Chain A
Amino acid sequence: MSSFITVLLDGLAYGMVLFIISVGLTVTMGLMRITNVAHGGFAMVGGYLAAMMIRAGVPFFPAAILASVAAGLVGGAVEMTVLRPLYRKGELAQVLLTFGLTFVFIAGLTLLFGTNSQAVPLPDYLSGSVHIGFRDYPAYRLFLIATGLVLAVFLWLVVDRSLYGAKLRAAVDNPRIARAVGINVNRLFTGTFIAGCGLAGFGGVVGAELLMLEPFYALKYLVVFLVVVVVGGLGNFKGSFVAALAIGIIDTAGKFFFPNISAYFFFSLVFVLLLWRPNGLMPAKSAA
């Protein structure tokens, strides 16, 4: 029983990291319709920057926030320079360009930092453990779960309850009509893209203990991020949340209980799910 709960908590913590990172990809792929395979790169850039700042003496949280802002700005710069010309081109051009961008990220970070993995040192209050009734549990993972929940509620409030969210949903469901009623769809998307990359950067920092930061990070975890978004339903925040947690828990449980077949299990599940529901578990309205 206790191992069951531990696996559940581990899975939740992992799922929350996946959610924080992938929610930005939901924006890019689901809302802006750019097949973006460079998303892991932004998470990686955030993580590297934070690692550098913390080593230079900046405390954990300011470093995490500064790094995510920086990742967001890098994202904004990329969107404005190389992604914008691609909006009207096909998926293929988008996949290729962002693939090239991923290569540039990987090579750039390797040239600057070498091939070794980078540690993001945790502050003392997160590196200990907390007693949770039946055993000691790492405070860091509890922190991840809490952060993920807070972010999910915050994003839900923003997307579901704010004017900005209403505009965003309108722009997704019908960009042409949204433009006609005076919403600046392009600016809205750019802002959302920056926010998404910032979140990815944040996820890269706080998730660094679970997803090791190394130059090939951007390719290694890409499939998982993409799966979260596609399984959740393109452009659906709630879907991404559910899919991220489900994948986090299933993957962790698989590795714990059936270590030999966990990767099969993961890919087979994705395969069957996508054949059964090509638009994901919860397709956004515009995709249905």
Chain B
Amino acid sequence: MTTLPTRSGLAELSAQGRLGLAWHALPWVLAFVVFYMAEGYLSLWTNALIMILLTLSLDLALGYAGIVTLGQAAFFGFGAYAAGLFAIHVHNDPLIGLVTATALSGLFGFVTGILILHTQGVTLLMLTLAVAGLLAEWANRAYEITGGDDGLQGVRMGPVLGLFRFDLYGKTAYLYSLAVLFVWFVVVWRIIVSPFGRSLDGIRQNPARMRAIGTPVWWRLVAIYTISAAMAGTAGALSAQTTRFVGLTTLSVLVSGTALVMLMLGGTRRIYGAFLGATVYVIVQDYAAKVNPFYWMFFIGALLMATVLFLEGGLMDLGATVRKYWRRAPVKKP
């Protein structure tokens, strides 16, 4: 049964995630602790914030609306190239660039969504792959515009709000990314507690019945796909602006795959799942890749398989899953 939310958004979210209100402050407090503790590692953490944003965007499309996509890299890369090119050719103000890249990615998501969301299942999966493939091929060929294989170089950013320059230590980049992530977090949270978000839940579970009760299923899917694309575009734009470089790899299927792994690791439809999954992934990868990148790949592959087989709700559900195996009692799905 879908009921309209009557409580306030935050309380609703708490009930959903079984978290106390105070817990909601924890990720953001931690983010500031990191800022003061992780001297010299801030670019790694900025990357973690960007990946959280990308994963959160995937959670909207895939977790909530059930759109099985392997093409999130298309929007991430699109946003990155849009922001990079905007900074080079139009204006170097980060915020204007970010908003432009976000809007363009959303538009791109809207157009492709209109085309491909009529299909479902494997066909949809292939179409999302084809969109990313086409875009990657374009970026590879259009050497004069994108720099092709060499990547887009010479991205120079002005100060944020005209006040804060991007410094060598990455402090501005980190806080800037954190602020952007927070804005999107609030948007996502408003979406998932809204009637619109609830209707997505219904569409994921049973599109035919949702259609029968009068939900414009296709439009709802296009809408969330557009929002998710815009958000992934923001993540890409942040990546371009903070690293001052856009490579072809931003469009590769590995980006989509990584976001998927992070989401599953953290747990879908838990809003903080993206935070947990992306953070754990980035930290473990940083350690493991120093030893041997292929051990890392082996590890992440095995971890992914184990998550699917034994830990359906991801790390967010770790406690509940352990209790389940302990007591052999069924776990309530959120």
Decide if B126 touches A227 in the complex (CB within 8 Å).
yes
Tell me the chain A residues, 219-253 only, with Cβ under 8 Å from chain B: 219, 223, 226-227, 230, 234
Say yes or no: A100 contacts B304, CB within 8 Å.
yes
Closest residue on chain B to residue A268 by CB atoms: B134
Q: How far is the CB of A200 from chain B (nearest CB, A)?
A: 18
Contact A35 B302 (CB under 8 A): no
A104: interface (CB < 8 Å): yes
Once A92-B62, A264-B137, A271-B131 are accepted as A-B contacts, the answer to whether A234 and B122 lie under 8 Å apart by CB is yes
Query: Which A residues from 110 to 141 make CB contacts under 8 A with B?
Result: 110-111
Whether B305 contacts A82 by the Cβ 8 Å rule is yes
Residues of A in contact with B, size category: 35 or more
Q: Tell yes or no: A59 within 8 A of B by CB.
A: no
A270 touches B130 (CB 8 A): yes
Alpha-carbon distance A115/B115, docked complex (angstroms): 39
How far apart are the CA atoms of A92 and B70 in the complex, in Å?
Answer: 10
Please name all residues of chain B whose beta carbon is closer than 8 Å to the beta carbon of A260 when the two chains form the complex: 141
Which residue of A has the minimal Cβ distance to B120? A278
Question: Residues of A contacting B116 with CB < 8 Å?
Answer: 275
User: Cβ of B308 < 8 Å from any Cβ of A?
Assistant: yes
Interface string of A82-112 (1 = CB under 8 A from B): 1001100001110111011111111110110
How near does chain B come to A156, taking the closest CB pair, in angstroms?
24
Contacts of A274 in B (CB 8 A): 119, 123, 126-127, 130
Q: In which size bucket is the chain B interface? A: 35 or more
The one of A86, A104, A271 in contact with B302, judged by C-beta atoms closer than 8 angstroms, is A104
A29 to B134, CA, bound (A): 24
Closest chain B residue to A227 by CB distance? Answer: B126
| A190 contacts partner chain B, Cβ-Cβ < 8 Å | no
Other A-B pairs beyond A107-B296, A108-B298, 15, CB < 8 Å: A35-B125, A91-B122, A93-B312, A96-B308, A99-B261, A100-B302, A100-B303, A100-B308, A104-B301, A107-B301, A219-B254, A223-B129, A264-B138, A275-B115, A275-B127
Residues of B within 8 A of A (CB): 62, 68, 70, 115-116, 118-119, 121-123, 125-127, 129-131, 133-134, 137-138, 140-141, 253-254, 257, 260-261, 264, 294-305, 307-309, 312
Q: List, sorted by A's number, 12 A–B pairs whose CB atoms are closer than 8 Å.
A: A91-B68, A96-B307, A100-B302, A103-B304, A105-B301, A107-B295, A219-B253, A223-B129, A223-B133, A271-B131, A274-B127, A279-B123
